[in-house]
């Protein structure tokens, strides 16, 4: 019997639940992920129907504000980002004018002390969280000019995000998990999907369900799913946070090789200096700015 596709958001451990603004931010990101999943499920049901005339097949419609930025060379350009949280009436500014540029094919690591705002910054430039001031242009799109649906479509096409929680769909096999996002975006290429699984070492697991996979295997599947759409940039938020050291090394090596192969840029948040050293450039976030 066919099992309905649902997204399971892993519950954080008690040690991950921090009070105040960081917990609020994490909750907000979980809500955004759930919203994306609901939007994706709706699109998946629609994709089973014949496309109507003029159907964009997941391509963002032209906005009256024309958010596209022509001749924008960087894949990511964030300028003067400011982001604050309210903690019981006390305003805490996490980002205080943070700026960054990531070129096509460039691999950049973001490091910093725990709680400094690394993940917050990544989620802002991925369009998962709003910001108070500044400007973000990703894949030629001004995030502030995009609607919520347009930002969702951007994350299903030119911007791919991999999280510490794998967020695989438990009722789908490995192969169908890899294909899920690309099918919704109208970019699914079965040959490329099989090649990705082979390169990431999960091709022999293609018919298994996520519950039968190890943590490292699940993260490899999540990376394959992200790259199946052939994005312009892969954003990874502590992708090895739930993995042991040896598995972390192997996963980052595989991810590094694949972004080089595809020509995609990589923006990765990590607490590991060793993993950060594998990338082209390392930026440290401190006091809300990059030093």
More confident residue, 9 or 86: 86
Residue (of 167, 227, 171, 170) closest to 197 by Cα position: 227
State yes or no: pLDDT of 52 exceeds 50: no
More confident residue, 35 or 42: 35
What tokens appear for 138 in the block? 């990703």
Supply the pLDDT for residue 265. 97
3-state secondary structure of 234: strand
Span 278-288, pLDDT tens digits: 999 999 999 99
More confident residue, 192 or 18: 192
User: Which domains, from first to last, does the chain contain?
Assistant: 19-37+68-290 (3.40.50.300)
Alpha helices, H only, 186-280: 190-199, 215-227, 245-262, 273-276
More confident residue, 3 or 123: 123
Supply the pLDDT for residue 61. 33
pTM above 0.85, yes or no: no
Q: What is the mean pLDDT of residues 107-127?
A: 96
């Amino acid at each position: 019997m066919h099992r309905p596709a649902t997204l399971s958001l892993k519950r954080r451990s008690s040690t991950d639940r921090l009070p105040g603004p960081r917990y609020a931010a994490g909750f907000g990101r979980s809500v955004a992920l759930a919203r994306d999943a609901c939007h994706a499920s709706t699109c998946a049901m629609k994709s089973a129907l014949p496309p109507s005339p003029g159907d964009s097949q997941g391509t963002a419609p032209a906005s009256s504000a024309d958010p596209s930025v022509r001749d924008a060379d960087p894949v990511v350009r964030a300028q003067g980002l400011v982001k604050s949280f309210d903690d019981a009436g006390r305003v805490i500014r996490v980002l205080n004018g943070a700026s960054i540029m990531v070129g096509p094919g460039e691999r950049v690591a973001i490091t910093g002390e725990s709680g400094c705002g690394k993940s917050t910054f990544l989620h802002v430039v991925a369009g998962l969280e709003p910001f108070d001031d500044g400007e973000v242009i990703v894949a030629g799109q001004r995030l502030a000019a995009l609607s919520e649906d347009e930002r969702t479509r951007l994350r299903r096409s030119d911007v791919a995000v991999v999280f510490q929680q794998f967020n695989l769909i438990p009722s789908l096999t490995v192969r169908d998990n890899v294909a899920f996002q690309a099918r919704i975006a109208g970019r699914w290429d079965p040959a490329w999907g099989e090649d990705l699984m082979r390169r990431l070492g999960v091709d022999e697991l293609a018919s298994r369900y996520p519950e039968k996979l190890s943590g490292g295997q699940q993260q490899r599947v999540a990376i394959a799913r992200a790259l199946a759409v052939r994005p312009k940039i892969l954003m990874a938020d502590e992708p090895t946070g739930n993995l042991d050291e040896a598995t972390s090394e192997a996963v980052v090596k595989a991810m590094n090789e694949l972004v080089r192969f595809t020509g995609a840029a990589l923006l990765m948040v990590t607490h590991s200096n060793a993993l950060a050293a594998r990338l082209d450039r390392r930026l440290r976030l401190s006091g809300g700015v990059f030093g």
